Structure 1
Amino acid sequence: MSYDTVAGIVLAGGRSRRMGQDKAALEFEGVTMLTRIAEAIGERCTPVLVAAPESSQAYRELSKESDLQWVTDEQDGSGPLGGLVAGLRAAAAAGAEVAFVCATDMPLVHADIVDELLAGLTPSTDAVIAHDSQRDHPMAGVYRTGTADALQALVDAGELRMLAAVDAISTRRVGVSNADWLTNVDAPEDLHRIRVAG
C-alpha cells in the first residue's frame, strides 16, 4: 500500500540519565543527534515532528535553534507513550494517516527503514515495528495515527511502557535489512563504540 503523507515523529522527551546529558543535543557526524535523525527520516517523512514536553532538556536546548516542528503537549510524566500519543495526534492534524516513530538516540537510523516497515503495513494492521534477533523495537515503527485514542487510554490508566502500546493494538513485527539502524545510544560508551566503528 502507498500513503500520500507519512509523518515522522522523533521521541525526544527522555531524561538521558545513563548518558549524563541530553542525548538529542549530542554531536554526531558534525550535527546534533536530533538533527542527524530528523534529516535521515525527513527523506521519507513530511512533516518531521519532535515530541518533547517544554520542561525537557531537549526542548530547552534545541527548540530555538531548530527548524523542526515541536510537539509539546504530552502529559507530564507520561513517558515515551505520552510522547507517541501527542505525536500521532499532531501527525493526524497534518493530514498523515501513518507516521514513522523513532527515538532520539538512534543515530544510525536510515530512511530505508521507513520503506521496509511501511511494506509490512496491511489494512488490518495498526502498527509495524522493527524486530531483531533479540527483541522488539517499538520505538522504530510505523503507527496509524488513528490509534492515538486507544493509546491515550493506556496513558490514562497509568501505563508508560511502549511495549504495552504494541500489545494493545494490532501490531506486526518485521525484521529489517540492517540491524545497525536500530542501534540505541544510552551511555557514553555506546556513542564511543559507534563513532569508532564508523
Structure 2
Amino acid sequence: MTGSAGVVLAGGRSSRMGTAKAALEWHGSTLLRRTVGIVARAAEGPVVVVRAGGQDLPDLPEGTVVVDDPREGKGPVQGIAAGLAALTGRADAAFVCSTDMPFLHPAFVRRVLRVLAEREGTDVALPVALGYRQPLAAAYRVSLAEAAERLVKEDRLRPAFLFEQCVVVSLDDATLRQDPVLAALDPDLDSVLNVNTPADYQQARARPQPEVTVQLFGTLARGDSARGPRVVRAATVDAAGRAAGLTFDRHVTAALNGDQITRDGTAPLAAGDIVFFMSADAGG
C-alpha cells in the first residue's frame, strides 16, 4: 500500500449559507466538482466524498468514491473517520478538505501531502495558515481512521482531540511558501479560504477566474495567431476552450500541463495551468 488519496467532506445544508455548499455554482461547474477535481489532480489515488446520509450530490468525475456519514451532526472528525476508513488498504495518506474551498490549488495539496511522504513518523501535516489551524486543509495518515472513529464514539468531536493522540507537524505561512511552486502560484495562500455565508460566496464568485495559458495544436491551430500560446481567464477546461475560440467536444482532447489528459470540460483549472488542445480524431 503506497501513495496518497483525497477526502472531501461534502456536508449537508449549511445553516449560515441556507443551502448545501456542495451544489453551489462555480463558473459553470459546482464547488464540490471543483474541489474533487483539484484534489484528484494532486493525489495519486482515489478521492472519497463524504456526504450526509441521503444527501444529493452534483455530478462528479468517474471513479469518485462516495460514502455516507454514518451519524448526523457529529462534525468534521466523523467525516475524517469515514473518509479515512474508506481508503484503508488503498492509500497511506490522504489530503482532507471541505468542499467550500474554491481557491484550493493543486500545489498546496502536493505541498502538504509531501510532508507525510518525507517524514515516516508523522501522522498529520497541519497547515497553520493565515493565523489559523486548518484541519480541513491537512494531510492525515489513513491509519488514523480507527482513532478518529473512537473519538466520535466518545463524543470528543474536535480535531484537536485527534491531534493529541498522534504526531503532528505544523506548517506556518513561511514554511508553506518554502515550496517555490506554491509561492509563485498561490502566494497569499488563498487555498485555505472558504465560503461560510452568502456574502462570502458572492465575494469569492466575483473574483477573476484563474489565469491560464492555452495552446492549440494540429488541425485546431488555424494560422499563426491560433497556434501560439494565449493567456486567458478560465476556471474549467471548457471555459479555456471557449476563450481560445474552440468548442470542447468529443472531437477535442485537452492535456493539462502536458501530462494529465482529459475530455471532461468541467475539469477544474488553477492559476498557472497550461492547457494544450488537440484533435481527438488525430490521436490526441
After TM superposition, the score normalised by the length of structure 1 is: 0.88
Alignment RMSD (CA, Å): 1.8
The aligned residue for residue 184 of structure 1 is 194
User: Which runs of 5 or more structure 2 residues have no equivalent in the other structure?
Assistant: 178-185, 209-284
Who is 1:36 aligned against? Answer: 34
Is the counterpart of residue 131 in structure 1 residue 141 in structure 2? no
Q: How does 1:105-120 map to 2 (within 5 A)?
A: 105-120=100-115
TM-score, with length taken from structure 2: 0.63
Instruction: Confirm whether residue 197 of structure 1 aligns to residue 207 of structure 2.
Output: yes
The answer to whether the Cα contact below 8 Å between 2:94 and 2:113 also exists between their aligned partners in 1 is: no
CA distance in 2, matches of 1:118, 1:53: 26
User: Which amino acid counterpart does residue 76 of structure 2 have in structure 1?
Assistant: P
Name the aligned partner's letter for residue 50 of structure 1.
V
Equivalenced residues, count: 190
Contact 1:51 1:70 in 2 (8 A): yes
Identity of aligned residues (%): 34
Question: Which structure has the highest helix share of the two?
Answer: 1
| 3-state SS in 2 of match to 1:120 | helix
The equivalences for 1:33-112 within 5 A come to: 33-45=31-43, 46-55=45-54, 59-62=55-58, 65-66=59-60, 67=62, 68-93=64-89, 95-112=90-107
The Cα of 1:69 is off from its aligned counterpart by 1.6
**3-state DSSP of counterpart to 2:155:** coil
Deviation digits for residues 60-116 of structure 1 (CA, Å, limit 9, x no counterpart): 243xx33432011533332211111010011114x1010010001111111111221
Q: Secondary structure at the match of 1:197?
A: coil
Mark the CA change 1:184 to 1:73 in structure 2 (over 3 Å): closer, same or farther. Answer: closer
How far apart in 2 are the matches of 1:169 and 1:26?
35
Question: Rg: which structure is higher?
Answer: 2
2: CA distance between counterparts of 1:146 and 1:69?
Answer: 18
- Aligned with 1:38: secondary structure? helix
Q: Partners in 1 of 2:159 and 2:100 — Cα distance?
A: 15
For CA contacts below 8 A with separation 6 or more, give which structure has more relative contact order. 1
CA-to-aligned-CA distance 1:125-169 (integer Å, 9 cap, x gap): 101011114110000011000011111121111022223322332
